[in-house]
Amino acid sequence: MTRTINSYVNGAPVGAAPGGTVENRNPANLDDLVGTVAMGDANTFVDAARAAKAAQPGWADVPAPIRGRAIAHIGRLVEANTEALARLVTREIGKPYAEALGEVREIVDTCDFFVGEGRRLYGQTVPSEMPDKALFTFRNPVGVVATITAGNFPVAVPAWYLVPALLCGNAVVWKPADYSPACGEALYELFVRGGGLPEGVLNLVMADGEQTFAGLEQSLEAGLVDKVGFTGSSAVGSKIGELTGRHLQSACLELGGKNPMVITPSADLDLAAEAALFSGFGTAGQRCTSLGTVIVHESVHEDFLARFDKLTQQAPVGDPTQGVVFGPMLDEKFAERFEDYLGWIQPHHTVLGSSATGRITATNPREGFVGDPEAGVFYHPTIVDGVREDDEIFRNETFGPMVGVTTYRDFDEALRLANLPGYGLSSSIYTTDANDAFRFRRGISAGMVSVNNSTSGAEAHLPFGGNGKSGNGSRQSGMWVLDQFTRWQAMNWDYSGRLQKAQMDVADLTADESYRLPE
């Protein structure tokens, strides 16, 4: 019997499928039907926003430490179901099982961190310039948060939104990626059951991009949504930002990246090559933090490239349950898009990393492939050397297993090349020179910098996010994300028994002999 994956509004599954039904298949084994998705439409999104709007005041009235306890229970339930959830991630999007386990652990870490924030939603007591007057600040929830997430991290990244948003007293409408709906439904159930969330506080909408955008637009116009969070492509993020801007909102945007890795003459080349393999080809290069271009000093270019190429050719690729470096593309639509990126390879480029490019099949094989290449959507890892700054491969995100390589002569040129594409998410430098490390940190436009580590990877207590085409400066994770899901409120309490008019009265106050300032 085929499993049906539903939307959930106000605590109940939505039985209808106004957006039709869609088959959800395992990209590593297309014969494996994960489930059939009952797709909603714009009205489903609006209904969810209306339910959230009605439920939010009651949830905000729950004391923040108690909301923190709900987050603690969610973390424990996710932890108890780690292996089952990781297996579902691997089955639904083809992420290698070891990576999927790490992704689930990220949810637990996020919950563990934000439990304490339930007792630390601090404001401040501020000194007043007037006597007998006290000033305070408070964090208030924004209201209803609409969250739209990508499927390359189908459970960890949503948790980055859901956990702090709920902790701060908001209600949420969550729309997961249409190619990871089973993970979305599973995470929804863990949150609702683990946290004992009241009906309407968390709502789940299954819909395609067009219907989601229409529903979001209608919800904003009706005043049902107070904050939007989006993780996805830069192109869609710009449309979300434009829409929210019309309603005087600033969306939390976590977008794509063209993440550079600079290799200096002093670098440990073996370590750098290992990092390039992981950050370039982990999750088949389908991370926002995936390595885009290696910018390697001309003096070590050949040596580094030989090591990187050797590791890439030896890397096991295939069945994501079998300990491979990477598995399939997330979905057929990403395979189609990656074919376009392969078309950007020019005659002046040198292609390495595999004996072939494109889709791995029986007629286009990869040596040492693990499993049956015909069963899923698998692609050869591709290293493109000789990339120039005016190449499309250099300037644009290539979401898939492709890494560009270029060279530089001096440090200023390396920084210029690293910043040139206009993204600003993640970056990395390999060096044993502290001066290089700090010059890179100061000059790079990226929101995240790694020294002698890969471009990929995040911890729950550090800010995550980018600038430029990678985002609008908003940050997720750590205490910094609280500014996305709360609004500051200032309060002044005058107990003088008379009307004090702040700056208008200060001149009189300082003129008084008892408050005479020294000459």
Query: Which uninterrupted H or E stretch holds 148?
Result: strand 144-148
Which tens digit of pLDDT belongs to each residue from 119-145?
999 999 999 988 999 999 999 999 999
- The per-residue pLDDT for 502 is 73
Q: Please indicate, yes or no, if residue 343 is contained in any of the structural domains.
A: yes
Same domain, 267 and 236: no
Which tens digit of pLDDT belongs to each residue from 243-255?
999 999 999 999 9
Same domain, 422 and 397: yes
Query: Both tokens of residue 401?
Result: 């297993």
Same domain, 274 and 188: no
Query: What is the CATH classification number for the domain harbouring 390?
Result: 3.40.309.10
pTM: 0.94
Same domain, 309 and 337: yes
Cα angle 180-182-185, degrees, rounded to a multiple of 5:
115
Alpha-carbon distance of 98 to 322, in angstroms, equals 9
Nearest to 259 by CA among 2, 445, 22: 445
**Total residues belonging to the chain:** 519
Q: Please indicate, yes or no, if residue 506 is contained in any of the structural domains.
A: no
Confidence of residue 506 (pLDDT cuts 50, 70, 90): low
Number of folded domains that form the chain? 2
Q: Please indicate, yes or no, if residue 496 is contained in any of the structural domains.
A: no
Same domain, 286 and 176: no
Alpha-carbon distance of 133 to 416, in angstroms, equals 53
Range of the domain at 65: 4-255+473-487
Q: Please indicate, yes or no, if residue 493 is contained in any of the structural domains.
A: no
Query: Both tokens of residue 80?
Result: 């108890």
Judge whether 288 counts as a catalytic residue: yes
Same domain, 76 and 184: yes
Answer yes or no: is pLDDT of 515 > 80. Answer: no
Same domain, 203 and 93: yes
